[in-house]
Every structure is written in structure tokens, then in C-alpha cells.
């Protein structure tokens, strides 16, 4: 720090000036040093951005639907698809009464020299024969073969598929009730059990179970017009039919009880499916003289439909 020079003292007045000027000079020097240190340009690291670590409690936006599996049955067979909404990442399909299984991954690219597609969960892996030309109907690549004896184990946890160097998953484990129902539809029950028949209208045990608890839901038959449609409700399973699908497609939904009725929420063809019932004595289908005790509203394929329902 440079030394301040002062004129020689001349009496008491000059001594007072010295006593005032010395502290002021020291204060000015200190402020100059502090200003130099506070200058951001003097510190190379002061301008570097510090990354903010992700917060463990952050969640997805409330309007973003959680990914889930979808199980659907029709006269052609039974499919297990992930996710239920949007474009499928993986689908498993068992044609009716053929003893075969198909695994399709739309994102896989066909490889002319690769004829094996494997799928499974954990250490349980099964290889299928892949079509090297790809799956024109579903997109991507599909593998087919006989339904494996350990199917329940193959879909009992997070599911992955591998085709050459391409991987899909692991995808979240399907809910146990859906996995059991799919294995039963394919003719393979729990490990150690004898193969069972595909689900029928009278074999609906899995439809009455939700979150490990038995549902108490009155079976219903719903009808609607303009356009014509119908639905059979058994527990949390809704078999939806229309003129182009007279046998109907079974949709595995989540059931919520309402006052005097209920709501069944699921997915059909990757789109939202919601059926709601409520008391309305004298409900008319508009085509006959028959009256029903319940009114229903249906959201399917992006359309809103109305109808009536009665216990069956």
C-alpha cells in the first residue's frame, strides 16, 4: 500500500489535519482492495454455471397419463400391450386355439440375417422365430412360436425383448392379474399348474379381482344406438361389441364404484375407453318399448355415446 505523505506539522491545527487524513487514507485503500476482489472478471470460476441436481420429489406433469398395460380379448385371440395409450412399445398376442404366441416390437428394424427374437423377464428368456422381412401388419419385427411352458415366469416381471443388437425394455411388469389372465388365455397357467382353457363368459375369475381384492359388481348388459353398440360387464371386464365386431372385444378396465352405478376405465386400440352407469328408471334405448333401470355413457374411439343398461 503506498504511503501517504503530509507536510511537516505546523502547530496544533496541522496535527488535527493529520489525525483526520490518516484514517481516511487507510479506509480508501481498504475499499480499493475489496472492490478488486469482488470483481467477477477477476475470478475465472465465478461465471461458471453450477448444474442443479434433480430433485428426488419431482413428478410428471399431472395431465400426463401414467404408462400401463392393456389386456384385450376377441374372437381372434388375446393381446397384452404396453403402453395402453399411444403407440405400442411391445405387444404379446396369443391367437385363439392355436397354441402359439407372437411378440411384436414396432421399433425394431428388420435384419436379413437375424432370425431370432427373444423376450422374457430377468433370467427367464425364450427365443422365437423372427420374420426377417418385418411385420407389415403391425410394423417393426415380430417373433412367433409355440407358447412356452414357463410363460407365467416370462411375463412375471419387467419384460424385455432383444433382436440382434436391438433392445426394447425392460418395460414395467404387467399387473399380476393381467399376467395371469393372459397366461390362462394362452393355455399356460401359473408354474406347476396344468394348462387351462382360454377365458369364456363363464370363466371370469380374474375379472372379479382388482388390487388383490374381490369385487362386488352386479353383471350388466348395456345397449346403445346411433351407432349401434353393446357391452357385457363382468366385474372389471367389459366386452364391447358393434356391427363390425359382433363377438366383441374384452377390455380389462379399472372399476370405480359410484352412487348407484360405477365407472370402468381402460383402453381400446390405444385410445381411452370409459363406461359410466347411473340410476335412471325408465331409460329407453330409442328403438323398442323396453325400459331399463340404468343409463350409461360411453367414451370410445374419441366419441361420446349414450345408452341404457340392466342386470344380466
Domain of 139: which CATH number? 2.60.40
CA dist., res. 91 & res. 104, Å (int): 5
User: Domain ends where: 146, 174, 199?
Assistant: 199
Cα 181 versus chain centre, distance? 19
Element (H, E) at 10: none
Residue 131 neighbours by CB distance under 10 Å: 14
Query: Is there a domain that residue 82 lies in?
Result: yes
User: Do 107 and 167 share a domain, yes or no?
Assistant: yes
51-60: Cβ within 8 A, 24+ apart:
none
Ordered DSSP codes for 161-197: EEETTEEEEEEPPPPHHHHHHHHHHTT--STTSPP-P
User: Do 181 and 290 share a domain, yes or no?
Assistant: no
Query: Is there a domain that residue 64 lies in?
Result: no
User: Do 90 and 176 share a domain, yes or no?
Assistant: yes
Give the per-residue pLDDT at 3: 52
Tell the burial category of 272 from Cβ atoms under 10 Å away from its Cβ (0-12, 13-18, 19+): middle
User: Do 104 and 186 share a domain, yes or no?
Assistant: yes
User: Do 215 and 157 share a domain, yes or no?
Assistant: no
User: Do 235 and 130 share a domain, yes or no?
Assistant: no
User: Do 83 and 146 share a domain, yes or no?
Assistant: yes
User: Do 180 and 228 share a domain, yes or no?
Assistant: no
Query: Is there a domain that residue 33 lies in?
Result: no
Query: Is there a domain that residue 11 lies in?
Result: no
Element (H, E) at 234: strand 229-234
User: Do 139 and 78 share a domain, yes or no?
Assistant: yes
Question: Closest Cα partner for 141 from 119, 174, 122?
Answer: 119
User: Do 100 and 159 share a domain, yes or no?
Assistant: yes
What's the total number of domains in the chain? 2
Query: Phi then psi for 123, rounded to 5 degrees?
Result: -85, -10
Query: Is there a domain that residue 19 lies in?
Result: no
Which SS3 state, helix, strand or coil, does residue 206 take? helix
Element (H, E) at 124: strand 124-130
CA dist., res. 205 & res. 199, Å (int): 9
Contacts of 148 (CB under 8 A, 6+ apart): 101, 126, 154, 188
Give the per-residue pLDDT at 177: 84
User: Domain ends where: 146, 171, 199?
Assistant: 199
End-to-end CA distance of the chain: 100
CA dist., res. 108 & res. 257, Å (int): 41
User: Domain ends where: 145, 168, 199?
Assistant: 199
**Per-residue pLDDT tens for 21-37?**
444 454 444 444 444 44
Query: Is there a domain that residue 38 lies in?
Result: no
User: Do 143 and 261 share a domain, yes or no?
Assistant: no
**Per-residue pLDDT tens for 126-181?**
999 998 888 888 899 999 999 999 999 999 999 999 998 899 989 999 988 888 88
pTM (two decimals): 0.52
Query: Is there a domain that residue 17 lies in?
Result: no
Domain residues for the domain of 304 are 210-311
Give the per-residue pLDDT at 233: 93
User: Do 307 and 239 share a domain, yes or no?
Assistant: yes
CA dist., res. 232 & res. 242, Å (int): 12
Query: Is there a domain that residue 272 lies in?
Result: yes
The stretches in the chain having pLDDT less than 50 are 1, 6, 9-10, 14-15, 18-19, 21-24, 26-65, 190-204
Question: Closest Cα partner for 130 from 92, 83, 82, 164?
Answer: 164
Amino acid at each position: 500500500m503506498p504511503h501517504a505523505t503530509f507536510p511537516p506539522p505546523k502547530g496544533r491545527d496541522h496535527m488535527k489535519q493529520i489525525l483526520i487524513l490518516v484514517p481516511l487514507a487507510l479506509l480508501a485503500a481498504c475499499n480499493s482492495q475489496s472492490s478488486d476482489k469482488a470483481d467477477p472478471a477477476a475470478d475465472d470460476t465465478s461465471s461458471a454455471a453450477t448444474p442443479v441436481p434433480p430433485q428426488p420429489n419431482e413428478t410428471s406433469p399431472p395431465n400426463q397419463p401414467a404408462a400401463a398395460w392393456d389386456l384385450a380379448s376377441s374372437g381372434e385371440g388375446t393381446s397384452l400391450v404396453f403402453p395402453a395409450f399411444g403407440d405400442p412399445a411391445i405387444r404379446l398376442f396369443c391367437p385363439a386355439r392355436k397354441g402359439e404366441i407372437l411378440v411384436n416390437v414396432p421399433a425394431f428394424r428388420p435384419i436379413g440375417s437375424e432370425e431370432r427374437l427373444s423376450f422374457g423377464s430377468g433370467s427367464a428368456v425364450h427365443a422365437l422365430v423372427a420374420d426377417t422381412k418385418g411385420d407389415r401388419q403391425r410394423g417393426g419385427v415380430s417373433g412367433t412360436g409355440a407358447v412356452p411352458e414357463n410363460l407365467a415366469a416370462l411375463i412375471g416381471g419387467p419384460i424385455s425383448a432383444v433382436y440382434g443388437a436391438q433392445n426394447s425394455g425392460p418395460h414395467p411388469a404387467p399387473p399380476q392379474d393381467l399376467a395371469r389372465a393372459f397366461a390362462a388365455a394362452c393355455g399356460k397357467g401359473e408354474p406347476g399348474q396344468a394348462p387351462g382353457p382360454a377365458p369364456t363368459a363363464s370363466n371370469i375369475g380374474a375379472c372379479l379381482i382388482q388390487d388383490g381384492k374381490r369385487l362386488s359388481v352386479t353383471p350388466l348388459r348395456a345397449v346403445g344406438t346411433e351407432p349401434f353398440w353393446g357391452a357385457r360387464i363382468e366385474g372389471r371386464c367389459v366386452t364391447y361389441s358393434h356391427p363390425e365386431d359382433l363377438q366383441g372385444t374384452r377390455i380389462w378396465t379399472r372399476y370405480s364404484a359410484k352412487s348407484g352405478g360405477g365407472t370402468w376405465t381402460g383402453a381400446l386400440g390405444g385410445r381411452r375407453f370409459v363406461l359410466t352407469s347411473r340410476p335412471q328408471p325408465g331409460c329407453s334405448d330409442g328403438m323398442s318399448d323396453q325400459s331399463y333401470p340404468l343409463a350409461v355413457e360411453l367414451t370410445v374411439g374419441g366419441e361420446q355415446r349414450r345408452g341404457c343398461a340392466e342386470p344380466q
